[in-house]
Amino acid sequence: MASEETPFVDLPAALMEDILGKATATGDLLIDRFRDLKKARQGYRQLLQEKNLIVHESSLGYPPLPTTCGTDGSYAIERLLFADLTAAAAVAVEGLTPPSEKRHWDQPHHLAFVQVEPHHPDTATVLRAVMLGNELLLAASAPHDLVMLDQTLTLPIIYFNQALNQAPNCPELSCSKEFMEHSLEYLAAYRSILRPQRSDKHYVGLPKYSSRREIGKILQSSNALDDRGLLTFLLQAGELTRPLRLEPPDQPWHLPGNLEARAGSPAAEIIAGLGEIFIFYYKPHEWLPALRIETASEVALNPHRLAVVVQGLKHQCAVPSILEPYPLYLADRTVKALARAVPTFRQVATQRLSEKYEGDIGELFFAMHGYRSESGR
């Protein structure tokens, strides 16, 4: 906590002065960008209206409020002298419950993986895929009407492909065995999210950041402006953009051939589903930035199902101090604590070892000394 409250205490004074001077110059550059956006704002908005790309939430109707939950995940690696202590966790948190509904969960649900691994350069790649797979399992099994994922819906195939290229080459890692054993379950959950056939199940991805510019290309805006930042200034409270197909990648989506053969139909449906992802931006309240929402075509192109998503998001964005839907905020706060807790896991393991170790206890404390921590989401 002390380092968070005094972030500059260990920096040399000369370095701090240099950084602060450059930060001031950066502020001047940002001022120019904001001025340019202010000048072009009305023209951009008028162009969106002419292309019929702005919709008000009232035109969709007001279906009953859905029950909601949000999912998130994180992983952490504590680099010890002779091994790595690894942990990955996924959590699902229920959102604010409508007055007419009963709560599905009394407490957050979670899936966790904790293991001691030999030093290996690909541990983080595979462990991250295990984390994401568990997050998909929680999302697919949630009994709620609206399930929010704190990610873009294309992220799993990227992380899975990276892990599938590395896991077979490092069988000594327990996380590799975990991933390969459950890879088909992860893919089945991913398929159900990309192709939601049940009309009472809605899955949406809400990435905090995206480099894609579906709206920016239509407006021919500057590449310096990403869509979310631009639409935060263009949309008024209660407005959303008409759903558009997700910007395609430079190369077609694919899974490794060996896994595609094993998975069969689910793999083909995943590839097809990635081509049917639609995006829209929605600004629930004046105090919130525009939300980027990614969802399947079955939801985005169905007015009633789209209305359920919009009303669910609006109901979960009820507090001005929280700049994202409430269940995603809680899930994010929960998983961020994992990295801070890993040193405690190490201390517990060290205590257990010291109780049973027959040799010199000093050797044990040397071996369990932590040199570096890595974490991610």
> Over the chain, what HEC string results?
CHHHHCCCCCCCHHHHHHHHHHHHHHHHHHHHHHHHHHHHHHHHHHHHHHCCCEEEHHHHCCCCCCCEEEEEEEEEEEEECCCEEEEEEEEEEECCCCCCCCCCCCCCEEEEEEEEECCCCCHHHHHHHHHHHHHHHHHHHCCCCEEEECCCCCHHHHHHHHHHHHHHHCCCCHHHHHHHHHHHHHHHHHHHHHCCCCCCCEEEECCCCCCCCHHHHHHCCCCCCCHHHHHHHHCCCCEEECCEECCCCCCCCCCCHHHHHHHCHHHHHHHHHHCCEEEEEEECCCCCCCEEEEEEHHHHCCHHHHHHHHHHHHHHCCCCCCCCCHHHHHHHHHHHHHHHHHHHHHHHHHHHHHHHCCCCHHHHHHHCCEEEEEEEC
Backbone angles phi, psi at 59, to 5 degrees: -75, -15
Which pTM does this prediction carry?
A: 0.84
| Whether the Cβ atoms of residue 279 and residue 206 lie closer than 8 Å to each other | no
- Per-residue pLDDT 10s for the chain (377 aa) are 445 566 666 667 777 777 777 777 777 777 777 777 777 788 888 888 888 899 998 888 888 889 899 999 988 888 777 778 888 889 999 988 766 667 777 788 888 888 888 888 888 889 999 999 999 999 999 999 999 999 999 999 989 888 888 888 888 888 889 988 898 899 999 999 999 888 889 999 999 887 788 888 888 776 667 888 888 888 899 999 999 998 888 788 877 666 666 667 778 888 888 889 999 999 999 888 999 999 999 999 999 999 999 999 999 988 888 888 999 998 888 888 777 766 666 666 666 655 565 665 555 554 555 555 555 56
Question: Measured on CA atoms in the order 180, 155, 258, 125, is the torsion positive or negative?
Answer: negative
